[in-house]
Structure 1
Amino acid sequence: MKITVDRDRCIGAGQCVLNAPELFDQDDEGTVVVLEEQPTPDQEPAARAAEHACPARVITLV
Protein backbone atom coordinates (compact mmCIF):
# COMPACT_ATOMS: atom_id res chain seq x y z
CA MET A 1 0.00 0.00 0.00
CA LYS A 2 1.11 3.53 -0.76
CA ILE A 3 -0.39 6.78 0.57
CA THR A 4 -0.76 9.75 -1.74
CA VAL A 5 -2.36 13.11 -0.95
CA ASP A 6 -3.49 16.13 -2.93
CA ARG A 7 -2.05 18.90 -0.76
CA ASP A 8 -3.58 21.58 -3.00
CA ARG A 9 -7.11 20.44 -2.08
CA CYS A 10 -6.45 19.88 1.66
CA ILE A 11 -8.70 22.04 3.87
CA GLY A 12 -6.75 21.41 7.08
CA ALA A 13 -9.48 19.56 8.99
CA GLY A 14 -6.87 17.37 10.71
CA GLN A 15 -8.90 14.16 10.62
CA CYS A 16 -5.94 12.33 9.12
CA VAL A 17 -3.76 13.22 12.10
CA LEU A 18 -6.48 12.26 14.57
CA ASN A 19 -6.94 8.86 12.94
CA ALA A 20 -3.32 8.05 12.09
CA PRO A 21 -0.81 10.31 13.86
CA GLU A 22 2.02 7.92 13.01
CA LEU A 23 1.31 8.40 9.28
CA PHE A 24 0.17 12.03 8.97
CA ASP A 25 1.00 15.48 10.32
CA GLN A 26 0.09 19.04 9.37
CA ASP A 27 2.42 21.86 8.38
CA ASP A 28 2.24 25.40 9.78
CA GLU A 29 -0.68 26.22 7.45
CA GLY A 30 -2.60 23.10 8.49
CA THR A 31 -1.99 21.24 5.23
CA VAL A 32 -1.55 17.48 5.40
CA VAL A 33 1.97 16.05 5.44
CA VAL A 34 2.55 12.32 4.88
CA LEU A 35 5.08 10.97 7.38
CA GLU A 36 5.17 7.43 6.00
CA GLU A 37 4.18 6.82 2.38
CA GLN A 38 4.24 3.04 2.71
CA PRO A 39 2.53 1.99 5.93
CA THR A 40 3.23 -1.37 7.50
CA PRO A 41 0.44 -3.97 7.53
CA ASP A 42 -0.29 -3.00 11.15
CA GLN A 43 -0.75 0.65 10.10
CA GLU A 44 -3.10 -0.09 7.18
CA PRO A 45 -6.34 0.09 9.23
CA ALA A 46 -5.36 3.55 10.52
CA ALA A 47 -4.48 4.66 6.98
CA ARG A 48 -7.90 3.51 5.74
CA ALA A 49 -9.63 5.27 8.65
CA ALA A 50 -7.80 8.50 7.78
CA GLU A 51 -8.76 8.15 4.12
CA HIS A 52 -12.44 7.72 5.00
CA ALA A 53 -12.43 10.50 7.62
CA CYS A 54 -10.96 13.15 5.32
CA PRO A 55 -13.78 15.60 4.47
CA ALA A 56 -11.95 16.90 1.37
CA ARG A 57 -11.13 13.37 0.12
CA VAL A 58 -7.50 14.24 -0.56
CA ILE A 59 -6.03 10.95 0.70
CA THR A 60 -5.69 8.04 -1.71
CA LEU A 61 -4.44 4.57 -0.87
CA VAL A 62 -3.04 2.52 -3.74
Structure 2
Amino acid sequence: MLQHFSFKPLFENKQIPGWSISFFFKQTRYTGVYEADGMIKWVGEVPDDEETVKKMIHELMLFHVYD
Protein backbone atom coordinates (compact mmCIF):
# COMPACT_ATOMS: atom_id res chain seq x y z
CA MET A 1 0.00 0.00 0.00
CA LEU A 2 1.21 3.50 -0.83
CA GLN A 3 1.40 5.92 2.05
CA HIS A 4 1.51 9.72 2.09
CA PHE A 5 0.83 9.91 -1.65
CA SER A 6 1.01 13.46 -2.99
CA PHE A 7 1.03 15.07 -6.41
CA LYS A 8 1.33 18.56 -7.78
CA PRO A 9 1.26 20.00 -11.31
CA LEU A 10 4.63 20.43 -13.02
CA PHE A 11 3.49 23.65 -14.69
CA GLU A 12 1.63 26.73 -13.46
CA ASN A 13 -0.65 26.46 -16.48
CA LYS A 14 -2.78 23.56 -15.28
CA GLN A 15 -3.88 22.91 -18.87
CA ILE A 16 -0.44 21.42 -19.52
CA PRO A 17 -0.51 17.89 -18.10
CA GLY A 18 2.25 16.42 -15.98
CA TRP A 19 2.56 15.91 -12.23
CA SER A 20 5.30 15.46 -9.72
CA ILE A 21 4.46 12.51 -7.44
CA SER A 22 5.90 11.28 -4.16
CA PHE A 23 4.94 8.54 -1.73
CA PHE A 24 6.23 5.91 0.67
CA PHE A 25 6.13 2.21 -0.18
CA LYS A 26 7.52 -0.40 2.22
CA GLN A 27 9.08 2.37 4.33
CA THR A 28 11.01 3.83 1.38
CA ARG A 29 10.29 7.24 -0.18
CA TYR A 30 9.92 7.36 -3.96
CA THR A 31 9.48 10.31 -6.32
CA GLY A 32 8.74 10.58 -9.99
CA VAL A 33 6.97 12.36 -12.79
CA TYR A 34 3.55 11.14 -13.90
CA GLU A 35 2.97 12.12 -17.52
CA ALA A 36 -0.37 12.64 -19.29
CA ASP A 37 -0.07 9.31 -21.12
CA GLY A 38 0.37 7.42 -17.82
CA MET A 39 4.11 6.94 -18.14
CA ILE A 40 6.06 7.30 -14.91
CA LYS A 41 9.64 8.56 -14.94
CA TRP A 42 11.26 7.70 -11.64
CA VAL A 43 13.54 10.23 -9.97
CA GLY A 44 16.09 8.16 -8.12
CA GLU A 45 15.30 4.68 -6.88
CA VAL A 46 12.74 2.44 -8.66
CA PRO A 47 10.41 0.32 -6.49
CA ASP A 48 11.18 -3.42 -6.41
CA ASP A 49 7.59 -4.29 -7.31
CA GLU A 50 7.31 -1.58 -9.99
CA GLU A 51 4.30 -2.95 -11.85
CA THR A 52 2.18 -3.24 -8.69
CA VAL A 53 3.19 0.27 -7.62
CA LYS A 54 2.33 1.66 -11.07
CA LYS A 55 -1.17 0.15 -10.87
CA MET A 56 -1.76 1.77 -7.48
CA ILE A 57 -0.51 5.14 -8.77
CA HIS A 58 -2.74 4.95 -11.87
CA GLU A 59 -5.78 4.28 -9.66
CA LEU A 60 -4.96 7.22 -7.41
CA MET A 61 -4.34 9.58 -10.31
CA LEU A 62 -7.58 8.55 -12.01
CA PHE A 63 -9.46 9.26 -8.80
CA HIS A 64 -7.80 12.59 -7.94
CA VAL A 65 -6.94 14.15 -11.29
CA TYR A 66 -9.22 12.75 -13.97
CA ASP A 67 -12.41 12.42 -11.91
Higher helix residue share: 1
The structure number with the bigger radius of gyration is 2
TM-score for the superposition, normalised by structure 1 = 0.35
TM-score where L is the length of structure 2: 0.33
Question: Structure 1 or 2: larger strand share?
Answer: 2
Which structure would you say has the larger RCO, counting Cα contacts within 8 Å and 6 or more residues apart?
A: 1
